[in-house]
Structure 1
Amino acid sequence: MTGKLLNHRLEGPASAPPLLLGPSLGTSYALWDKVAPELAVSYRVVRWDLPGHGGSPADLIGPGATVGDLAGLVLALADSLGVERFAYAGVSLGGAVGLHLAVHHPERLTSLAVICSSAHFNGAGPWQERAEQVRREGLGRLVENAGGRWFAGDFTVPELVRDHRDADPEAYAACCDALAAFDLTEQLPGIATRTLLIAGREDRATPPAHLRQIADAVPGSALVELPGASHLAPAQCPKAVLAALRTHLAGAPRRGVEVRREVLGDAHVDRAQARQTPFTARFQDFISRYAWGEVWTDPTLSRRERSMITLTALVAHGHYDELALHVRAARRNGLTEEEIGAVLLQTAVYCGVPAANSAFAVAQRVLAEDPGEG
């Protein structure tokens, strides 16, 4: 199995922020056919297939598999594509993979959307029985009832039913084993990733109560319930799912703008936005989304610490216009004049006396102009 990856499809600009989309048990990445092309206008979309589904090799997992094993395959896929951090959205089992990543690998996620899924899937018994049935009889009987489990009313998607019929029984059963063993109920309060829950009001497999349980436990999460949607909401209600995802995914840039204003001040951000042109718009979005929406919001370092690091880096590279901006930012982040001086003195040792001399001149001018800042 070494070197094997999940089958996947790439859509959207290579330079756009990455978004991984996970499928439900019994389906392929075709589940996202009505949603992914729209998302690919703004994101680098990566749709993937479960083992033994669509084009993924069946032997990527075996009996006794766990959701953690599937999450490991997703991370291996991301690594192979050079994707370090990504937004993630998944349906049912694909949503469980997202929850596992948020609990065990939060540093890889920029945001999470869990669609028609659960933190526990009603316990191990039913899934163990289904795994035994599939290993014994194949997928025939389950395929016959797929429409009733997946969709509300008379709606159906023949392509997805064919995917179910063509899935490898052993891999399907191993995915059932993963669902049987899955229960993250107790870990939900520790999830810090910005999270959206989407429930289908007609979903009998994972009713809205399952998504409400996650929303109640995950700090700051949001819940959207879709009328008329059953278990495969992206196929049955693509416009509603797309609208919810767009709003959720746009949250990082908005948060980035908020942090940028808090650190640099409204006047600077207003000037930058006023100068924005179609030519610079993508760069401004990159700054808000990545620098301010992801790096500056990472709780590992305080804003004081980030200011000290930033001052040092700017002196080292001779970016004195930016240095003036970040001396003001350092005052907003709580550094005293003495502490700023100590940081610049440190740069004299490691960046050179001429660089520190220029830096002190810039800082002295700024501090004289804004003696009460902070």
Structure 2
Amino acid sequence: MELRYEVTGPDDGPLLVLGPSLGTTRHLWEPQTAELSRSWRVLRYDLPGHGASPVAKGEFSIEDLARDVLALADTERFAVGGVSLGGAVAMAVAALAPERISELVLCCTSARFGDPGPWLERAARVRAEGTGWLAGMVTARWFTLGVDPELAEPVQTTLLGTDPESYALACEAIAAFDLRDRLPRITARTLVIAGDQDPSTPVEHAETIAEGIPGARLAVVAEAAHLANLEHADIVSGLMSRFLGHGRGLKVRREVLGEAHVERALVDATDFTADFQDFITRYAWGEIWTRPGLDRRTRSCVTLTALVAHGHLDELAMHVRAALRNGLTPDEIKEVLLQTAIYCGVPAANAAFVVAQRVLREDG
């Protein structure tokens, strides 16, 4: 199947693939895209017969959709997420190719969407009558009572524009889906988001996922139904940004400081220091060190200078090693320290040379 998609964000950013729910399009993720695209290359796709994607030409399974998503990512290791059916596809991707997935974000979804009967009945009725009869019923389940009509109406319009046969085939794929016994195969860092008033995928479904995937985190959004990312966009955006920022930051932190150093820091973390470790991972490494405006060599030069200026010699030793890992030569590190002698003071530079020379001897 051909899944049409749209990509936003920096060309050199890590890849994040997001899928929509049944009856919606990639635009479902619009509230989160601007913020996530600051550091991620966000790929949002349309399901078969939804939005820009061609209609389905025959039956398909959720695993078939998962293979199509893996193909969109080519050979990259990437993060993946989705709402409802899109979340089920993301789970299937993470179970099919655990080595390819770094983070997994599951919003208002399920490892099994209940008894197959109602889904098969819905498929039959949509084939007979189209999607018009669904609009009121479905949107009542997608939002809590009293939601702003300006939020609900575009979603209803999108549903009415969905190809009926493709919608029916998706219902049949949902009816056959059951990933519960495969959840332990998923190794990606996982965030599960649920709406506390979601009748389609209740909190109990989210709890099943969170208990089945090792180390998964569960966040329940208050006063939210099935499309929590629309109804409470700021809350869901914040949850995703913090979670994905930590994952990206941890990767960069390991690359710059080395596996051994980061592992020691994480192992040594206590209840008292864990929040600080999370803070520096998300903001220092996930937000600043990943910005495209400076390369890592330049950032190492800036960091060395700042540490000399403030006399942070223990941190300086760590960042001399990081500078070598980022591609600076000993001669270039020497030039940075000579520059600090002029602008930070000779005593500060003298102490820095002692630390740097020790590190270079130890690592030489």
Aligned-partner SS, 2:31: coil
Deviation at 1:189, TM superposition (A): 1.6
Query: Which residue pairs with 1:22 in the alignment?
Result: 19
State the Cα deviation string for residues 253-306 of structure 1 (Å, max 9, x = none). Answer: 44333686564548xx99xx9xx898885538999xxxxxxxxxxxxxxxxxxx
1:283 matched to 2:311? The reply is no
Query: Which residue pairs with 1:177 in the alignment?
Result: 172
Query: Which residue pairs with 2:83 in the alignment?
Result: 91
Match of 1:198 among 193, 196, 204: 193
1:106 matched to 2:103? The reply is no
Aligned-partner SS, 1:250: helix
Q: What RMSD, in angstroms, separates the aligned Cα atoms of the two structures?
A: 3.3
1:240 matched to 2:224? The reply is no
- Superposed, 1:270-309 pairs within 5 Å as 283=296
Query: Which residue pairs with 1:31 in the alignment?
Result: 28
Distance 1:177 1:70 in 2: 13
Aligned-partner SS, 1:10: strand
Match of 1:132 among 103, 124, 147: 124
The unaligned stretches of length 5 or more in structure 1 are 288-313, 322-364
2:234 corresponds to which letter in structure 1? K
1:132 corresponds to which letter in structure 2? A
State the Cα deviation string for residues 39-62 of structure 1 (Å, max 9, x = none). Answer: 111111111111101111003x52
Q: Measured at CA, do residues 369 and 226 of structure 1 come closer, stay the same or move farther in structure 2, by a change above 3 Å? A: closer
> Percent identity of the aligned residues?
42
Distance 2:51 2:359 in 1: 61
Query: Which residue pairs with 1:223 in the alignment?
Result: 218
Distance 1:68 1:144 in 2: 30
State the Cα deviation string for residues 177-232 of structure 1 (Å, max 9, x = none). Answer: 11011001111122111111000011100011100111111111100000011101
Query: Which residue pairs with 1:122 in the alignment?
Result: 114
Q: Measured at CA, do residues 15 and 147 of structure 1 come closer, stay the same or move farther in structure 2, by a change above 3 Å? A: same
1:152 corresponds to which letter in structure 2? T
Distance 1:366 1:85 in 2: 34
Distance 2:291 2:134 in 1: 52
Q: Measured at CA, do residues 201 and 285 of structure 1 come closer, stay the same or move farther in structure 2, by a change above 3 Å? A: farther
Distance 1:215 1:264 in 2: 29
Aligned-partner SS, 2:73: helix
Query: Which residue pairs with 2:71 in the alignment?
Result: 76
Distance 1:196 1:249 in 2: 9
Query: Which residue pairs with 1:9 in the alignment?
Result: 6
Q: Measured at CA, do residues 45 and 282 of structure 1 come closer, stay the same or move farther in structure 2, by a change above 3 Å? A: farther
2:190 corresponds to which letter in structure 1? T
Distance 2:258 2:73 in 1: 33
Distance 1:217 1:277 in 2: 32
Given that residues 116 and 176 in structure 2 are in contact (C-alpha distance below 8 angstroms), is that contact kept between their aligned partners in structure 1?
Answer: yes
Distance 1:133 1:255 in 2: 48
Deviation at 1:29, TM superposition (A): 1.1
Aligned-partner SS, 1:52: coil
Deviation at 1:320, TM superposition (A): 8.9
1:104 corresponds to which letter in structure 2? L
Deviation at 1:28, TM superposition (A): 0.7
Distance 1:286 1:196 in 2: 31
Distance 1:278 1:43 in 2: 10
